[in-house]
Amino acid sequence: MGAAAPARHSLSAFLAISVAVFALDQLTKALALAHLSSGHPVPLLGRIVQLSLVHNAGSAFGLVQASWLLILVGAACAVLIPLLVALRAELPRAQVILLAAIWGGSLGNLLDRLRTGEVTDFIDLGFWPVFNVADIAITVGVIAMAILLLTRR
C-alpha cells in the first residue's frame, strides 16, 4: 500500500502528521475542559453522538487502570516509534502515516497523564466508553497497521 518514501521525507511527514494529531488532540481536550461539565452531556447528533466530559485514569476507553503501566507504555511509544521511523531507510508511506497517528495520539494521552494523572475524554457514542481524539488516532492506527501488515505480500 503506497510506495516506499526516502528516509528524510518519511521523517518530515511523520513529524508533521504527529504534530497535527497531537495539536488537534490537545486543542479538543482544552475546548472540552473549557466548555463541558461532568454529568452534563451536550448532544451533537441527538443521543447518537454527545459530548460528555470524563476524566479517565485508565487506558483508551477505560479498559486498563494501572496508571504506572500506561505511563511506561506511553513513554516507550514516545521513544521507540520515532526511532523506528528514523532508523528505517525506507518505510511505505502508509506505515509512516499510521505510525505518526499512533505516536501523536500516544504523546497527547501521555502528556495528560504526566500533567494531571488522567486523560480528558469527551466523545460519547452512548454504547461505547467515552474517548478522545488521541484514542481515535491510536486505535485506528493500530488496527490499520495490523491489517496492512497481515495483508502484505
Write out pLDDT tens, residues 125-142: 988 889 999 999 999 999
Nearest to 139 by CA among 106, 108, 97, 114: 106
Nearest to 107 by CA among 40, 4, 14: 14
Annotated catalytic residue: which of 25, 112, 124, 135? 135
* pLDDT at residue 84, as a whole number: 80
Annotated catalytic residue: which of 25, 112, 121, 124? 121
* Active-site residue flag, 121: yes
* Active-site residue flag, 25: no
Which tops the pLDDT comparison, 38 or 81?
Answer: 38
Q: What angle do CA 140, 134, 19 make, to 5 degrees?
A: 100
Tell whether the model's pLDDT for residue 99 goes beyond 60.
yes
Which tops the pLDDT comparison, 61 or 70?
Answer: 70
For the chain, domain boundaries: 4-151
Query: What tens digit of pLDDT does each residue of 8-63 get?
Result: 567 888 999 999 999 999 999 999 999 999 989 999 998 899 999 999 876 555 55
Coil/strand/helix, residue 15: helix
Confidence grade of residue 153 (pLDDT, cut at 50, 70, 90): low
